[in-house]
Structure 1
Amino acid sequence: MARNPSIQIGPLRENELEEAGRIVRMAFGTFLGLPNPLEFMGDRDFLTPRWRSRNTVVLAAREDGRLLGSNAITRWGSFGFFGPLTVSPDCWSRGVAQQLLSATMKVFSRWRVRHSGLFTFASSPKHVGLYQKFGYWPGSLTALMKRTPQPPAWTLKSGVKVPVLLSALSDREKSQAIGACAKLTSSMEKGLDLGEEIRAVLKQRIGEVPLVYGQRSLDAFAVCMNGPGSEGGANTCYVKFAAARGGPGSGERFDRLLDAIEALALARGAELEAGVSLACDDPFHRMRSRGYRMTALGIAMQRPRGEGFNRPGNYVLGDWR
């Protein structure tokens, strides 16, 4: 579809956040056939916290001053992903999403990311086909999993260190811990770094980062979103990303990470939600054995085509919504 010159793409302005959030709810709620589309996701906010984060750019599509849609583009070091990409339902099939995507590809090029990805509806040929036009290829399914933690959420074994919350550390210790997180993720994919994502969580007070240490190094960590104005909202502890160090004993380290995440959710009185790629089969099976239930299936699409860090042998959580 040819570019529509009346539609202009540029950064989303702060005074447009409320309307952009309304469009996000209306677009997803309409597509999913909800009786009241604006009730989609309840009090959860997938846009405002990202707009306030240093590692995210939010693009807007406008026509004659009217906001038509938006797209959030996030950078985790050498990896980038985008979404939610939404357009007001009365503007569907006008090429708005394609123009937002063209501008998104320029952002990724400027960032020089090694690869990028997205999460979309596996059952929608229209969505999959749109992203294929921009070089994205569907990979493994991603399961959205939920669990209500029950006491006791975890038990401490002899000789095992107690999990630590990043917010409880001194500034110097926080800096060291964030560096250790980057070292762990870079072992899964060169340059993968959630440092700015973690700093945004602390600065905005929209969640917590549980840290699981072994005898000599960081074994695992998770970026959990919870609280008013967060991606999890007041009642959900949303695990946006989590990873356990690979190698011998990785399954046990992942179990300890789940223990720490569940303890956090239990303390906050929240339901747990996490996405896991079905390419990471052992993490999926370990979650199922704990009582996690699948609530939805989506598909990860990546450019260039490949597994990225969601591959067998990696103990990682995340869904790129």
Structure 2
Amino acid sequence: MAITIRAMQEADLAIADHLFRLAFGTFIGLPDPQDFARTMNYMNRWYLDPSAAFVAEDNGQIVGSNIAVNWGSFGGFGPLTVHPDYWNQKVGQQLVSAAMDYFAQHQISQLGIFTFSNSPKHLALYERFRFHPRCLTAVMSKPVQPQNSQPPLQPGLRYSELAAATQADSLARCAELTNTVFEGLDLSNEIRTVAARHWGETVLLESQGSPVENQHLEGFAICHCGEGTEAGKDACYVKFGAVRSGDSRGDRFANRASESLASLLQACEGLAAQRGLSTLICGVNTERQGAYQLLRSLGFRIDILGVAMLCPNQPAFNHPGAFVLDDWR
């Protein structure tokens, strides 16, 4: 067996998607592995940066894939997929190595991934690359309430509805906000691609209660909506959401951040209700105690638990003062 690693092409997306379902569905023991995440599409991540996606081949046959994700100063990868016939043959190691080379080329020094917390093999694989298991990450959901059954929901601004010049300003303001969460963190490419490919919407939350000239971006959430995205059928998925962070970690900061995050989630639920979606999904690391406790208080329930692994072994933005929603799957 001579495994080769090459860049993923757009023509590879269908087979990579098939292998993704086969591998994960087999691992968790589904009667029909192709039922795994059937209405979701993770291979669309290729469109974020084709140079960050890789396939493994055996004599010209694709047997695995991996996609690196670039969020400025922070990166990750996934889904890492290997055909079951090629498990335990170091194909996964080669695909991780390709992603690590990508991060080195882009000088991304802080990495984080999500994996099965109950799988020693997964932990051992990533530990080979200096990833360390830290706190649990919860993927959570709640039913979306119909708009006519509750008070008006916080609308928020919608990135796709802004004029081009205003969009450019919004991207800069989003980058400024995420820099308060983690230096150099930048979701601009995610925001642009979600809008360009009509995967969903980015909700922008402006500060309230101050003169217009003093208002600033208080938070934003990148949402995937519906079938064929990372949300899946009838769901709105917060791929990344954050509200403003600062140096203070006292009660005053936490209360304000919690209120802002609650307003941002209300705006996301308003988006979901407007689009006729029935479920709101988001992830949060349990080390972000304020954000995690807020989700529980708002009626979110845990659907999936995984472990966050970081390289190097530092918290990044997994700490009590980070009011951030994501899960690194």
- TM-score normalized by structure 1? 0.94
C-alpha separation between the residues in 2 aligned to 1:303 and 1:84? 17
Give 1:163's aligned amino acid. Answer: G
Give the structure 2 partner of residue 292 of structure 1: 300
The answer to whether 1:34 aligns with 2:5 is: no
Q: CA RMSD in A?
A: 1.6
The answer to whether 1:165 aligns with 2:158 is: yes
Query: Where in structure 1 are there 5+ consecutive unaligned residues?
Result: none
Structure 1 segment 236-315 matched on structure 2, within 5 A: 236-247=235-246, 248=253, 249-270=256-277, 271-315=279-323
C-alpha separation between the residues in 1 aligned to 2:98 and 2:52? 11
C-alpha separation between the residues in 1 aligned to 2:274 and 2:25? 31
Give 1:225's aligned amino acid. Answer: H
Q: Deviations over 1:55-107 (max 9, x none)?
A: 86110000100001000101001111100001001110111001111111111
Give the structure 1 partner of residue 250 of structure 2: none
Give the structure 2 partner of residue 126 of structure 1: 121
Query: Where in structure 2 are there 5+ consecutive unaligned residues?
Result: 247-252
- The structural deviation recorded for 1:316 is 0.2
Give 2:231's aligned amino acid. Answer: G
C-alpha separation between the residues in 1 aligned to 2:290 and 2:175? 23
Give 2:230's aligned amino acid. Answer: E
Q: Deviations over 1:241-281 (max 9, x none)?
A: 00011253111111111111111111122211111000011
The answer to whether 1:23 aligns with 2:19 is: yes
Give 1:109's aligned amino acid. Answer: A
Give 2:259's aligned amino acid. Answer: E
Partner of 1:97, secondary structure, is helix
- The structural deviation recorded for 1:200 is 0.5
Moved more, 143-152 or 201-210: 143-152
C-alpha separation between the residues in 2 aligned to 1:222 and 1:67? 35
Give the structure 1 partner of residue 249 of structure 2: none
Give the structure 1 partner of residue 199 of structure 2: 206
Give 1:244's aligned amino acid. Answer: V
Give 2:141's aligned amino acid. Answer: K
Contact 1:56 1:74 in 2 (8 A): no
Give the structure 1 partner of residue 226 of structure 2: 227
> Are the structure 2 counterparts of residues 162 and 236 from structure 1 closer, same or farther at C-alpha, using a change threshold of 3 Å?
closer
Contact 2:71 2:186 in 1 (8 A): yes
Contact 1:144 1:273 in 2 (8 A): yes
